[in-house]
Structures are given as C-alpha cells and as structure tokens.
Structure 1
Amino acid sequence: MNRFLSHAVNRIDAKGRVSVPSLFRSVLSARNVRELYCFQDFVFPAVSAGGPELLDRFEGQTNGGDPFSPDANRMSLLIHGGGVFMKLDPEGRLMVTDFIRSFTGITTDVMFVGRSDYFQLWEPAAFQEMQAAARAQVRDRGLT
C-alpha cells in the first residue's frame, strides 16, 4: 500500500504521545519518510502531515512568481508560519504538541484520517461531524 487510507482513533498517553496507526507507519516507511512536515489545514480544524515532498509541492506552487506578491505572502503564512517538522519516536509515536492541540481542539484522543498522499490529525467528534456533512452534501448533489 502506498497511500494513506481510512481512519483510526488512538489515545494520547500520559507523556503526550500518540501512536501513529501501523498502516500509516507502513506507508511512511515505504516512502522512506523520516521527518513529517505538518501544517495547519487551510480549510478544516485539522493538522495535515506528510513527507517533505508535501512542503515542496506547496513551495513549487508559489515559486516562479513574485515572492513578495500578496498571494505568495499569504501562502507563506500558511505553509511556513503554520507548519513544523516533526519526527516519530522509535515506537512510531508522535508528540501531540500545543501546535496540534490549539488548532484542532484535540484533548485525549486523535483521529488519524488518510488523505491519499498525506494524513490528518483531527479531534474525533469534529471529524465525524465534518465527514457526515460532506456525505450529506455529496448525497444531496447526487453522485456524478
């Protein structure tokens, strides 16, 4: 498997760490990702995480233009000012820092959500609510 699929909930331990689901760790290993680029999602109350190529993709979208343009400055605020690099510990756990907690509202449990080439960290109830709303919108519009 080379994509992040499905979702899973894991509890934060007493030291503030959470185990990344084994299926997600397998994808990270297959992609040889040693350091995660994490950023505060542009739309949802979630932190998105992927390999350094995720940051490269965003920077590629802004390169080539005027780096001081209003659009480039806004994007930099999101991808640089709203991003950090994080590492998993040897047991495959991620520290749930204030960077994650304050943006997502996560307290005791983390919902890991696959998004193809990256995954997200959500407060479980917020994810369930957002997924139900997305399902309703797709249903109401009809599948195409």
Structure 2
Amino acid sequence: MFVSNFTNRIDKKWRVSVPARYRAILSEAQDSVIYAYPHPTSPSIVCSGIGPIRELQASIGKFNPLSQDFDDFADALLSQIEEMSWDNEGRVVLPENLRIHAGLSDSCVFAGRGDTFHIWEPAAFQRRLEEARRNAQSRRDQLSRITPPGGSGA
C-alpha cells in the first residue's frame, strides 16, 4: 500500500527518483513499470502498477463499447497512460505531457493513496492537502458510519 508523501528534486533531464518504499511495493507485485496518467480533475499525475490499471479498464469496459461514455473515459484515461520504467538508480523520466499537466519544474511530491500514488507540484499539493483537511474535518461524522472490512457496522 502506498502511504506517506515524499518530496524529490527533478533534474535537468526531467528525471526524478521514485521513493524506495514505492519501488519496493511495485517490485513485490512484480511490476517493473509505473503506469501514469493525468488526473482528470486535478493537476496531479496518477501512478500505479498494473493492478489498478486493469481495474480501471474493467470499469470502463462495463460501458457499451459504442457509447459516448466508453469513448470519453477510454480517451480521457486509458489513451493517456504512459509507462515509466525506473533505472538502476531508481529514477524515472517524466513525460512532457504529464509534466505540463501537473505544472512540474524542479521538484515534486509523491503522495500515497493506497493502491495508487499521485505526483504533484509541491505548492499545489500543499493547497490540496489543506483543502482535504478542511473537507475531512467538516465531514468527520461520516467516517464513523463507514463499516470497516469484516466489521458489523454496529
């Protein structure tokens, strides 16, 4: 599970070190590639191994393949996926389209989200984190109504 967040520098060749913990998680799942695509509603890059990508494809595959919904989601998400392999030093090269989408320049934040992690421009991540904390605080009563896996919900 991808947790925590890490800030790393981006070099002049657009290489960035993937956190060792994240590489270990991907390696345990026998993923040698990071699948990445622009988040459809935020200036971040969604990254994962193949499992979440297969789940995404399966969800999109539930639409009629001749429908507008299928076309929109397949084009907005699946057609935008980039494959990034890390080198011997644990670095990936950030593709131009993803860098532009996230507004990256000299550093980025890797933020864990469970099965995925996102790459953010640091100031944008700080704004998102503050917004998320405010939203979570205002809706904290909802958390007590969530039934944990295997729980009774009582």
- Superposition TM-score, scaled by structure 2 size: 0.86
Post-superposition CA distance 1:55-113 (Å, at most 9, x none): 21111112244212011011111222322112111211011221221100010001000
State the shift of 1:15 in Å. Answer: 2.2
Alignment partners' CA distance in 1, 2:18 and 2:81:
19
The alignment covers a number of residue pairs equal to 142
Cα RMSD, aligned residues only? 1.3
**Structure 1 letter corresponding to 2:37:** F
Tell which deviates more after alignment, 104-113 or 81-90: 81-90
Q: State the secondary structure of the residue aligned to 1:48.
A: strand
Give distance in 2, aligned partners of 1:94 and 1:76: 25
The farther-off stretch of 72-81 and 117-126 is 72-81
For 2:69 and 2:25, the matched residues in 1 are separated by 33
Residues 10 and 16, structure 2, Cα contact 8 Å, conserved in 1: yes
Report the counterpart of residue 31 of structure 1 in structure 2: 29
Q: Which amino acid aligns with 2:61?
A: N
Unaligned residue ranges in structure 1 (runs of 5+): none
Residue number in structure 1 paired with 2:70: 72
Amino acid at match of 2:12: A
Alignment of 1:13-24 (within 5 A): 13-24=11-22
- Relative to structure 1, the CA distance from residue 108 to residue 71 in structure 2 (aligned partners, 3 Å threshold; closer, same or farther) is same
What secondary structure, in the 3-state scheme, does the structure 1 residue paired with 2:131 have?
A: helix
Give 3-state SS (helix, strand or coil) of 2:52's partner. helix
Seq. identity, % = 30
Does residue 103 (structure 1) correspond to residue 84 (structure 2)? The answer is no
CA distance in 2, matches of 1:35, 1:95: 12
Paired residue type of 1:124:
P
Greater radius of gyration (CA) = 2
Change in Cα spacing, 1:64 to 1:136, as seen in structure 2 (3 Å) is closer
C-alpha separation in 2, matches of 1:49 and 1:142: 27
The residue number in structure 2 matching 1:81 is 79
Report if the CA contact (8 A) 2:33-2:86 is conserved.
Answer: yes
